[in-house]
Amino acid sequence: MSYCYDYPRPAVTTDVVVFTIREETLQLLLIKRAAAPYQGCWALPGGFVEPDESLEQAAARELEEETGVAGVYLEQLYTYGAPDRDPRDRIISVAYYALVPSDRLQLRAASDAEDVRWFGFDALPALAFDHDHIARMAHERLAAKLDYSTIALQFMPERFTLGELQEVYETILRAPQDKRNFRKRILALEAIEATGERRRNGAHRPAMLYRVRDPQRVAIIK
């Protein structure tokens, strides 16, 4: 079966920059390419957009198929369409980025563990196509959004401490935050609330556990 058109058409794919934070490092999910071009090279998860799905659905589907991750924050980043970005065919890629909470980063059993892996953002292997460029732009967008939205909460598990949240900010921004000012600022947003429970965690005072008030919502602030 083949599909014919009067004019040449590019192929359209979605690629997803999947971020998580684990052990105080920003991590990025990559898959090893099984097919040419860039066979054996690490790349962003992604694939062709199907005729009956929206772009965001395509990105969510690819993410779930290749990694088992579903229901996470997903936002369109940018569309890349340089004529030579794929050496073989004209491919236009609508890039998204996704944020995975740290309690949901176990990868799909279906995927061969060798082929899907988290990498530290500062220790990425060479990436296929222009994927390093896409990943850099995603990081810039994410860091910018920390300053004017509650997007960082998308990384948090059900319950978390203010110290853990602060570590998330420090990891993405690559800069230490003043503890007292950070707490004042975050609590003033009224986006999280204390649960009353505490986390006992070693030979020191236990920390209050917080939860996100409206986990779906990313509020724009100020």
Q: What is the contact surface with DNA in residues (CB under 7 A)?
A: 161-163, 178-181, 183-185, 198, 200, 202-208, 222
- Shorter beta-carbon distance to DNA: residue 87 or 206: 206
Among DNA, its own copies, none, partner that 203 touches (CB below 5 to 8 angstroms by kind): DNA
Residue 180 vs 222, nearer CB to its own copies? 222
| 207: phi then psi, degrees, rounded to nearest 5 | -100, 145
Count of residues engaged in binding its own copies, rule: CB under 8 A: 28
Q: Which does 32 bind (CB under 5 to 8 A by kind): its own copies, DNA, none?
A: none
**102 vs 149, beta carbon nearer its own copies:** 149
Question: If contact means CB under 5 to 8 A according to the sort of partner, which of DNA, its own copies, none does residue 88 touch?
Answer: none
Residues 46 and 13: their CA atoms lie apart, in Å, by: 7
DSSP three-state, residue 133: helix
CA 214 to each of CA 38, 167, 193: distance values in angstroms, whole numbers, following the listed order: 41, 21, 10
Q: Is-contact 187 181, C-beta < 8 A?
A: no
Per-residue interface string for the shown chain with its own copies, residues 59-88, x marking contact by CB under 8 A: -----------------x-xx-xxx-----
Residue 94 near which of its own copies, DNA, none (CB within 5-8 Å, type-dependent): its own copies
Tokens of 164: 């853990």
The DSSP output letter for 206 is P
How many residues are present in the chain?
222
CB 16 within 8 A of CB 110: no
Taking CB under 8 A as the criterion, which residues in 186-205 touch its own copies? none
CB 153 within 8 A of CB 211: no
d(CA 110, CA 208): 37
Torsion of CA 65, 62, 19, 164, to 10 degrees: -50
Instruction: Residue 54: name its binding partner from DNA, its own copies, none (Cβ under 5 to 8 Å by kind).
Output: its own copies
User: Should residue 143 be labelled a site residue for its own copies when binding is judged by CB under 8 A?
Assistant: no
Return the range that interacts with its own copies (CB under 8 A); candidates 9-17, 112-120, 164-172, 178-186. 9-17
Q: How far is the CB of 110 from its own copies (least distance, A)?
A: 23
- Residues with Cβ within 8 Å of residue 127, at least 6 apart in sequence: 30, 41, 42, 43, 44, 135
Q: Which residues bind its own copies (CB under 8 A)?
A: 1-12, 48-49, 51-55, 76, 78-79, 81-83, 90, 92, 94
